[in-house]
Every structure is written in structure tokens, then in C-alpha cells.
Chains A and B, each alone.
Chain A
Amino acid sequence: MRQVAIVGVGYSGFRSISPDLSYKELMYEAAAKAYDDAGVDPRRDVESFVSVAEDFNEGTSIFDEYVPDQIGGVLKPVHTIPGDGIHGLIAAYMQVLTGAMDIVMVEAHSKASNVLTLSDVVAYAMDPIYNRPLRANPLFIAGMEMNRYLYKTGTTEEQCAQVVVKNRANGFLNPSAAYGARLSLDAVLSSEPLSYPLKRLEVSSHADGAIVMVLASGDVAQELSALPIWITGVGWCNETPSLETRDWESATYARNSAEMAYRVAGIRNPRLEIDFAEVDDTFAYKELQHMEALGLCREGEAGLLLEEGDTELDGELPLNPSGGNLGVGHLLDASGLARVLEVVLQLRGIAGQRQLEDVETGLAFGWRSIPTTSGAAVVLSN
């Protein structure tokens, strides 16, 4: 099979508002940086363009029409995926695998500050017949899932709050994180309950930004980059959309995504073979639930490992060194690509103050947030 590597990354942001730049300019900035990083000319060298966007978040119908110009893709193969950024990355990866393309780019972005009715957009994603008539804030889904997860695993509210303390502190060391902060456990625990047991500070805040990555096939990647970051495994899975029949305890979509990615990457024991991971933490408990589902520890163990410091920057298995969605900001469908971005920066050894030592293999996992059970994973090595 062909080898595929990430040879360039570029990003714009991340910040709570971006009144100076249109979404197109955010994308242009990220793309220009990524092409510069990869040493490619998009008009000459890049053969295909994959963007990730959801019409309702963009405020534009048939949004894919508005994509090509700002990423250098006019008159070239371009398509748009409504999914997580990692779904887009996997699509680009597969295009290179076909052998028809050698250099492909993927883009995802968030202009969340321009969406005036974001919670209505999320509510409109719920089943219109059985769930939407209740007219509840969609956060109720996270509250119900967190409650069941704590009940099933014995994980505590304090452990969930500790995730926020850790990730926002990591964000403090990340110059591109919008919400880096040094918070006390008490501040998190005493923030108001939005949907019991979920508290305000346990919900990641949205941010604006754009991320672009350039992928290349084996030989081409070696020529372009002194340090290509190899995509060694990919996996993705959707569980049922039905709130009533889905698994509320253990994030099956994450387990299936990871099992596929590990199989492709030839990883037998993720606990030993994965050096660090960036995993979705849209809600604080999700980092713990995802850690378990991704096979990085046993069920019910994530909270304990967190308490023991295992997932800190200097721990055995650092989780979300970037700050995650809690520290960096939730970038709508670019969130998964932000997880990949950090894995790339860490594996290249250019993550600055938060750089991890001796890392060779990292995992990125994205989830499409409530009300979905849509996940995607990628394993990367330097």
C-alpha cells in the first residue's frame, strides 16, 4: 500500500471573535501558511482539495460552491464533506492512496462567532418527531450522558472538573489557544449547572479559526519535507442517531473508530504503543469516556489516571497537550483537525513550551458533538 504523510500545516486563529477577517480570509490565511510550510504552489502542485463544512453553521446553502477560490482550488477537483475535520483528512488520505493523486489538501474552519443562533442549529439536528418537540436546550443530551457515564463507571464530578483544570492550563502554554487559563477545581465545580451534572466551565466555548493540511504520497513527501508525519492508521464510525437505542455509557463510536485505526496501523496494544493523544473533550467528561473507549485505559480508570497525573504534560500518557477543545476553543467541524494539528506539531518537535519528550506515535480523535454518535480517529508517526 502507498504511504501517505502530512507535509504541511497552516492555521489561522484561534480566538473567540474574528471581526477583522471574513471566513474566506481565515481560510486563505491558513491555506497560504500550509502551502508555504509544505513548499508547494496550490495552482501548480496541489491536485485535489477537500473542505469540511456544514451549511447551517456557514449560514450559506450549498456552501461547497463557496470553497475553491480561497484555497487555490478554482478549476481543480474540489469537494466538501459535512463531517468532522478528521473525516475530511481521511478522504484526502484515501485520494492519495488511490494513486491518482500525489498532493492533496484538506481544510476545515469555524466562524462560530458569526452564527447568531448556534443552539437552534444544534436543536435542529435532533429527531424532529420524537425529540425536538420537547424544546429542550440540546445540552440535555450531554447532561444525560454524563450522568449515566458517572453512574456506570464510578467516575466523579471532581475528576470531570479536573479535566477542565488540566486542559485550560495546557492551553495557557499554547499561544494559539483561545481559552488558556489557570483555574481552580473549585471554580469549575462551582460554575453553574447547565444540565446537571454538567457545569458551565465543563462545556467548551466556541472559537473562530481555520486549519489546512497538505498530504503527499511516500516519495513526494520525502522530497517535500525533512520531517513528514506519516498517517499510519485511520478509522471512523457512526453509531445510531437514535437517542433511545444508542450506547449512553461507553462511546461505542470511539471504540470502533480506534479499533479500525489500530488495525490499519498494526497497533496491538495502544496503551504501550501510543505515546500521547489528542481526543475530543467538547464536554469535560468526554475526555475520560473517550480515553477509555479508545483503549488507552480500562473502563472506569480514566478519572483515576487523571488524578494520578498520568495524562498531564509530564505524565505517562499526555492527553490534549494543546488544551483540547476546552483550552483551544471548540472549532465546530474543524475541531478534529485541531486535534490532528497538535499531534503533527508535537511529532515535529515544534510545540514550544508544551513540547512532549521522545514522542513517536500520536492518536487524534474527533467527535461531531451532540446530538451525534459520529467519530473519527487517525494514528500518526514521525
Chain B
Amino acid sequence: MSLVERITSFADAKVWYGNLPIESLYTVGIAGEKFFRAIKDRGVIMGSVCPSCNLTYLPPMMYCERCFAELEEWVEVGTKGTVYTYTVVGVSLGGAPLEQPEILALIKIEGAHGGLVHRLGEVKPEETEIGMPVEAVLKPKKDREGSILDIKHFKPA
């Protein structure tokens, strides 16, 4: 199917422009509140425990995605882990080439089910490998605001 007349310039193919400035709030919730307060105030990473599945969730959830139980037990999981997988991102959010490619990784924390997705720092892409031990580098306490970015990055341990 096509138009009756041939289109010879882009301007003839009429389009209308629209946009929507979407802004949202996201309640971090009971589990998120506990997790971010622990990082901000005490510099520790906490997970929530499902005793019947014997799993410690990280990021913590207030329910178990395996057995649907409400989780009430919490433990500190430490700030050390290993690189489960990583990538070197060469483009920005909008797709433009990055001058300084970023290393992103899923860091599995020992004893936890899950881990944290974060940047790796103080390491070059060619030195990065799966299985590499890393530890969290936190921002100075005064700069922390209760966000995943209170962790600056993970660095080789």
C-alpha cells in the first residue's frame, strides 16, 4: 500500500511531534528502607533471609520469590564478592560513543542469593575477568544519601 502520489521529499511525509515529560516517584518500601539505611548509616550491606528456602536475598525483598513467605530475618552479607559476569559498555544511554567505556558487573556476594549490579572501578577492562574477587567502595559517610550510588563502585580485592 502506498500514497497516491510519489513522495519526493521528507517534508511531504507529514508527521506530528509529541512528547510527555514523565516524572515518577518510587517508594523504596520496607526492605529497601532497611537496605539503604544500613549502607548510609553503617556502611554495611544487608540481605533478607528466607529460612525455609535457606536463601539470603540481595537486593533484599520483603517476600520470598520462591515460596512466597514474608521475610522478617535480616543478616549482614559483607561488602566483598566476586564478578559473576561483566561487560564493557561503549555507548551512552542515548547511544553515543563513550569516551571512557564503563565496566558494569553483576557481583555475587558470598552467602547471598543474588548480588548487586554495579560499576567496577580501579581496574582496566583487559584486567577484568569473571570470578575476580572485588569489594565495595563506599562514598564518604557525609556524601551518602540512601541510594545504590552510595556505593561508588566495586574494586579488585
Contacts and interface: CB of A to CB of B under 8 A. Distances in A.
A144 B95 contact: no
B154 interface: no
A137 interface: yes
Contacts, number: 120
A134 B28 contact: no
A192 B97 CA distance: 10
**On chain A, which size bracket covers the interface?**
35 or more
A144 B91 contact: no
Contacts of B102: 136
B117 A243 contact: yes
Contacts of A20: 2-3, 7, 13
B148 interface: yes
A130 B87 contact: no
Contact of B90 (A123, A151, A195): A195
B87 A198 contact: yes
A135 B84 contact: no
B149 interface: yes
Nearest to B95: A119
Interface stretch (B57-65, B72-80, B135-143): B57-65
A124 B23 CA distance: 11
Interface residues of B, number: 47
Interface string A190-210: 001111111000000000000
A129 interface: yes
A244 B59 contact: yes
Contacts of B65: 240, 242, 245
B25 to A, nearest CB: 9
B24 A144 contact: no
B118 interface: yes
Contacts of B94: 117, 119-120
Interface string A210-254: 000000000000000000000000000000101111001000000
B89 A133 contact: no
Interface string A139-170: 11001111110010000000000000000000
A124 B26 CA distance: 12
B148 A129 contact: yes
A266 interface: no
A140 B24 contact: no
Given A119-B95, A130-B59, A133-B148, A192 B90 contact: yes
Interface in B12-53: 13, 15, 18, 20, 22, 24, 26, 28, 32
Given A134-B117, A136-B89, 6 more contacts: A129-B148, A135-B93, A143-B87, A193-B90, A195-B91, A196-B87
Interface of A: 12, 19-21, 25, 29, 59, 61, 114, 117, 119-120, 123-124, 128-131, 133-137, 139-140, 143-148, 151, 192-198, 240, 242-245, 248
